[in-house]
Amino acid sequence: MRLKSVITSNKRLIDQFLKQIQKQLRPLPYKKWHMLIDDDHNSDSSLKVKLSPAGHILGSAFVEFLYTKNNPKITKRLLFSGDLGAPHTPLLSSPKSPYRTDALVIESTYGDRNHEGRYDRRDRLKQVIDSAFKNRGTVLIPSFSIGRTQELLYEIEHIIHAHKTNRLKSDLSLDDVEVIIDSPLAAKFTSCYRKLRPFWVKKAKAKIKTGRHPLTFEQLLTIDDH
């Protein structure tokens, strides 16, 4: 009984916390300055904020703060960012550097490494798929539900489309690949990505116009629940 009471209490706290977050959330468009503090009693200073695409996942942003003081004249910029996306990321525009900043706070997990290029990764993925098909095997890819799963689907769809007539064995081709998302959470995020097509990079949106569907292609099977 005590365990049940603790679970009920925790759920109540979580629900209250989520309701408070919903009250405080304010969606903001990219690339526009928004006033945070404008002192009505003392118009001598103000603080603005601007969000710009970070290219990490859909909706990610780096944040610029602009502080202005009129007497004496002082203008300071502070830039904060978590993860930044690499150039040529599927679906997402590459992040663009701001004009300037006086102070920079940034995540730096991979700051001392050079990542493999996107097209090299795609070639290696195709080699793995080819090898698995020749051995009549299965490729298992553990992946984050948001961001990475959608990138993988995009790349797999490209590989299938570009090489679907290639025969790996007499009775098999890449067009015979069955791709399974075995994660209800990843399936939900993939659905969100599809709804947010207006924020895709131009190259990805162009595929839709030609009748291709990078995140809902014919060979894709989604597990909605277990």
Decide: 130 and 160 in contact? Cβ < 8 Å: no
d(CA 144, CA 186) in angstroms, rounded, equals: 8
Please give the structure tokens belonging to residue 124: 């290696």
Give per-residue pLDDT as tens, 23-50. 999 889 999 999 987 766 556 788 999 9
Was domain 118-222 assigned CATH 3.40.50.10890? yes
Coil/strand/helix, residue 52: strand
Using CB atoms within 10 A of its CB, is residue 29 exposed (0-12), middle (13-18) or buried (19+)?
A: exposed
Is the pLDDT at 170 greater than 70? The verdict is: no
Q: What average pLDDT is seen over the chain?
A: 86
pTM of whole model > 0.85?
A: no
Give per-residue pLDDT as tens, 44-94. 788 999 999 998 888 899 999 999 888 778 899 999 998 888 888 888 888
pLDDT band at 176 (very low <50, low <70, confident <90, very high): confident
Of 46, 89, 92, nearest to 71 (Cα)?
46
> What are the residues whose beta carbons fall under 8 Å from the beta carbon of 186, sequence distance 6 or more?
143, 145, 146, 149
Highest mean pLDDT among 4-13, 42-51, 88-97, 138-147: 138-147
Q: Where are the domains of the chain?
A: 29-106, 118-222
Using CB atoms within 10 A of its CB, is residue 11 exposed (0-12), middle (13-18) or buried (19+)?
A: exposed
pLDDT band at 115 (very low <50, low <70, confident <90, very high): confident
Q: How far is CA 142 from the centre of its chain?
A: 17
Which residue bears the tokens 């839709």? 208
